[in-house]
Amino acid sequence: MTSAYVLNGPNLNLLGTREPEIYGEKTLADVERSCLDVANELGWALQFRQTNREGELVDWIQEAGRAQSAGEAVGVVLNAAAYTHTSVALQDAIVGSGARVIELHISNVHRRESFRHHSYVSPVAAGIIIGFGVAGYPLALRALAALDAS
């Protein structure tokens, strides 16, 4: 069965516990359930993960790229959180692995502090979903399906 990866970076385990005015009230477990509903509808297995470690995100992107090359994965929805704005290693992992990546942010980073306006992921992403709250996650899975069909 084809897998879709949804990879979440640092502090997203805190979703729903603090800063609801920015990130809403849903928890990461709620987000996983909404992704599972769409994955089931699309006939995909779901690899939904969160880590606070940059290297672990790199490992998972490489894993997704290998699975995609083997025809076993459709791509990655990546909310790299703060590493979006700092990590050359993530950009290198995306390019080096060939993983198809949809960059996702819950908040509209362009309405926030200027340090959030730059992304190392955007130039190597297939597409970007920003500012739709956690509703962006199922949208991003549907975007992966659309890209896969095109």
Burial of 121 (0-12, 13-18, 19+ CB in 10 A): buried
Q: Which of 106, 121, 129, 143 touches ligand CA2 (CB under 6 A)?
A: 106
Active site residue 105: yes
Residue placing its CB nearer to ligand CA2 in the complex, 67 or 90 = 90
The answer to whether the beta carbons of residues 66 and 41 sit under 8 Å apart is no
Residue placing its CB nearer to ligand CA2 in the complex, 7 or 67 = 7
The catalytic residue among 5, 83, 85, 105 is 105
Helix or strand (DSSP H, E) at 27: none
Residues 32-71, one symbol each (x = binds ligand CA2 by CB under 6 A, - = not), give: ----------------------------------------
The answer for 130, left when phi > 0, alpha when psi is -120 to 50, beta otherwise, is: beta
Residue placing its CB nearer to ligand CA2 in the complex, 45 or 124 = 124
The answer to whether the beta carbons of residues 139 and 112 sit under 8 Å apart is no
Helices marked H in the chain — which ranges? 20-23, 28-42, 54-69, 88-97, 136-149
Q: How many CA atoms lie within 13 A of 81 on its CB side?
A: 17
Q: Which of 79, 87, 91, 97 touches ligand CA2 (CB under 6 A)?
A: 79
Active site residue 23: yes
For binding to ligand CA2 (CB under 6 A), which residues are involved?
11-12, 14-15, 18-19, 23, 79, 81-82, 84, 105-107, 109, 116
Active site residues: 23, 105
